[in-house]
């Protein structure tokens, strides 16, 4: 299960067909980042670069000409460096493995770039890549200085961001297969966390169970930092310290997903540390779950993007009134955004090579409509701050989110993260198989 070289070729051709004639598009993948002294963070290729060629080494540069002809600049083969830092594909390997038409060693980058840019009218790039923008300007200046020798510097710089992001937004069959596999590995990891948790454990000890399953199942990387939040820590939306002690009676919120072939999965589950929901925990949990089901119902072809968020808000607000956390008329409370005291984030985001994947949510300030091949998360939640004195003490410090990954298909929403318990009974049954 992987992306075929022909698919990358096809993407490059499609990109160039959407850009003006006589354009060269240039992308780069990024460099290693230092963590401390001589230790680097693991390298992860830029998502758009990877989408166009699948090459995973640092410092690489991709030129695509108008007809789709692709030239990849790569680090040279170097037995000494490879002995220390690991394998490099080099020029021959890059051509043979990734289906690019040409490759060169980065030591020749200036010469190659000047040849590729000479006589071209437009240069397309991801305009936010400041380093590349500056590099391209330097090459342009060099051509400009040689104008009287017959060189023709490019006239315009174009932003390829929108075109490329819209392509990435609609997933093809190969991408969907990888994303479902990633989702299913994450399902197994969450199941293991639910089965193995014990009060008294540190959050990071439970986190270790997730990471173990990810890697055992073939996913070497995380899509984002794991959130393992016990009790009121769940109310900190991007809690990542994961070093508190899990108490009997806590709810635990885990937001974690593996990355497979650079594709993200993104799952949140909330479950009781001792295996049994208390009454107030169960009441709020069931409300969030109802909101999630109502939301998924709206994840259909032709529905506006905002519909599933609105469905979640309606269910949550009505439920908060019913349980006594909000007082007043439901329609008015929605109008005044009163729910924001307990629900302050959106109900979903695009998912793909990036966990918060690219693609516009609105077009001409109108919510866009859902189309087949879009993948997005659905993640309603409720968070009652531990110091919220406006509500009955029994609700305080409860944070809940339930998140799944949804593929929009002609025949309706398809849950990529299928099979993972989320009904109260199913979670309690799974947790009773304690290991």
Query: Which residues bind to Mn ion, rule: CB under 5 A?
Result: 266, 377
Number of C-beta neighbours around residue 78 at 10 A: 13
Least distance between Mn ion and beta carbon 290 (Å): 19
Instruction: Report the C-alpha gap between 19 and 153 in whole angstroms.
Output: 19
**Could you say which of 14, 356, 360, 434 is catalytic?**
356
Helix (H) or strand (E) holding 212: helix 203-216
End-to-end CA distance of the chain: 32
Distance CA 426, CA 419 (A): 11
Does 403 participate in catalysis according to the annotation? Answer: yes
Q: Which is nearer to Mn ion, 233 or 377 (CB)?
A: 377
How many C-beta neighbours within 10 Å does residue 199 have? 16
Given CA atoms 123, 124, 127, 129 in this order, what sign does their dihedral have? negative
With left for phi above 0 and alpha for psi between -120 and 50, is residue 302 left, alpha or beta?
left
Of residues 13, 221, 300, 349, which has the active-site annotation? 349
Nearer to Mn ion, 143 or 267 (CB): 267
Name which of 377 and 417 has its Cβ closer to Mn ion: 377
Locate tokens 């093809």: which residue?
172
Residue 57 or 379 having the CB closest to Mn ion: 379
Catalytic status, residue 238: yes
Residue 358 neighbours by CB under 8 Å, 6+ apart: 47, 48, 164, 165, 168, 169, 350, 352
Supply the minimum distance, in Å, between the C-beta of residue 316 and Mn ion. 17
CB of 401 to Mn ion, least distance (A): 9
Q: Which is nearer to Mn ion, 46 or 266 (CB)?
A: 266
Q: Which two tokens stand for residue 42?
A: 């693991």
Please state the closest distance from residue 180 (CB atom) to Mn ion, in A. Answer: 17
Active site residue 349: yes
The catalytic residue among 81, 238, 360, 390 is: 238
Please pick, among 46, 129, 180, 379, the residue that the annotation labels catalytic: 379
Catalytic residue among 239, 269, 383, 404: 383
Residues pairing with 269 in the sheet: 254
CB of 351 closer than 8 Å to CB of 180: no
Residue 221 among the catalytic residues: no
Reported as type and span, the H/E element at residue 386 is none
Q: Pick the closer one to Mn ion by CB: 143 or 382.
A: 382
In order of 27, 70, 140, 243, the CA distances from 63 in angstroms are 7, 6, 15, 45
Which member of 89, 140, 269, 401 is catalytic? Answer: 401
69 is known as an active-site residue: no
The Cα–Cα gap between 311 and 296 comes to: 9
Task: Find the shortest distance in angstroms from Cβ 200 to Mn ion.
Answer: 29
Judged by beta carbon, residue 29 or residue 377, the one nearer Mn ion is: 377
Q: Which is nearer to Mn ion, 55 or 383 (CB)?
A: 383
The beta strand positions in 192-328, using DSSP E, are 221-222, 227-230, 251-256, 258-260, 263-264, 267-272
> CA-to-CA distance for 412 and 304, rounded, in angstroms?
14
DSSP states of 70-87 as a string?
A: EEEEEPPP-HHHHHHH--
Task: Check if 426 is active-site.
Answer: no
Beta bridge pairs of residue 412: 409
Determine contact, residues 344/379, Cβ cutoff 8 Å.
no
In the complex, minimum distance from the CB of residue 255 to Mn ion, in angstroms, rounded to a whole number: 7
In the numeric block, which tokens belong to residue 201? 């454990």
Residue among 180, 259, 266, 354 flagged as catalytic: 266
How near is the Cβ of 192 to Mn ion at its closest, in Å? 20
Residue closer to Mn ion by CB (options 175, 266) is 266
Give least dist CB 7 to Mn ion, A: 26
Greatest alpha-carbon pair distance for the chain in Å reads 82
The catalytic position among 129, 191, 354, 403 is 403
DSSP for 267-280, written as a single string:
EEEEEETTSS--HH
> Residue 379 CB, nearest distance to Mn ion (Å)?
5
What are the residue numbers of the active site?
Answer: 38, 238, 255, 266, 345, 349, 356, 379, 383, 401, 403
């Amino acid at each position: 299960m992987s992306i075929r070289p022909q698919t990358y070729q096809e993407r490059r051709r499609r990109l160039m067909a959407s850009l003006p004639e006589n354009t060269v598009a240039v992308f780069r993948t990024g460099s290693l980042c230092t963590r401390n002294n001589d230790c680097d963070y693991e390298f992860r290729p830029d998502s758009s670069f990877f989408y166009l060629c699948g090459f995973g080494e640092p410092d690489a540069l991709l030129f695509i000409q108008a007809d789709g002809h692709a030239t990849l600049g790569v680090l040279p083969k170097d037995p000494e460096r490879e002995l220390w830092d690991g394998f490099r594909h080099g020029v021959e390997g890059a051509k043979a493995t990734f289906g690019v038409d040409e490759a060169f060693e980065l030591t020749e980058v200036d010469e190659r770039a000047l040849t590729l840019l000479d006589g071209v009218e437009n240069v397309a790039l991801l305009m936010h890549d400041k380093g590349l923008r500056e590099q391209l300007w330097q090459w342009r200046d060099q051509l400009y200085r040689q104008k009287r020798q017959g060189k023709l510097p490019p006239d315009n710089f174009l932003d390829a961001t929108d075109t490329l992001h819209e392509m990435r937004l609609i997933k093809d069959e190969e991408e969907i297969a990888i994303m479902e596999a990633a989702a299913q590995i994450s399902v197994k990891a969450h199941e293991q966390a639910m089965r193995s948790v014990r009060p008294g454990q540190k959050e990071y000890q439970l986190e270790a169970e997730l990471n173990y399953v990810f890697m055992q199942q073939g996913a070497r990387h995380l899509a984002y930092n794991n959130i393992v939040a016990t009790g009121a820590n769940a109310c900190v939306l991007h809690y990542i310290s994961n070093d508190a002690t899990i108490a009997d009676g806590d709810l635990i919120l885990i937001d974690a997903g593996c990355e497979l072939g650079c594709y993200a999965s993104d799952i949140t589950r909330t479950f009781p540390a001792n295996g049994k929901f208390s009454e107030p925990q169960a009441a709020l949990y069931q409300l969030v779950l109802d909101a999630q089901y109502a939301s998924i119902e709206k994840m259909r072809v032709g529905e506006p993007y905002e519909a599933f968020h609105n469905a979640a808000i309606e269910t949550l607000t009505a439920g908060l009134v019913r349980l006594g956390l909000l007082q007043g008329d439901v329609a008015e409370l929605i109008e005044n955004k009163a729910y924001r005291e307990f629900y302050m984030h959106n109900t979903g985001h695009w998912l793909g090579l990036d966990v918060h994947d690219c693609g516009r949510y609105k077009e001409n300030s109108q919510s866009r409509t859902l189309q087949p091949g879009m993948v997005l998360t659905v993640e309603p939640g409720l968070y009652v701050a531990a110091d919220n004195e406006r509500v009955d003490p029994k609700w305080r410090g409860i944070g809940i989110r339930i998140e799944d990954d949804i593929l929009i298909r002609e025949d309706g929403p398809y849950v990529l993260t299928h099979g993972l318990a989320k009904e109260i009974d199913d979670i309690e049954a799974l947790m009773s198989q304690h290991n």
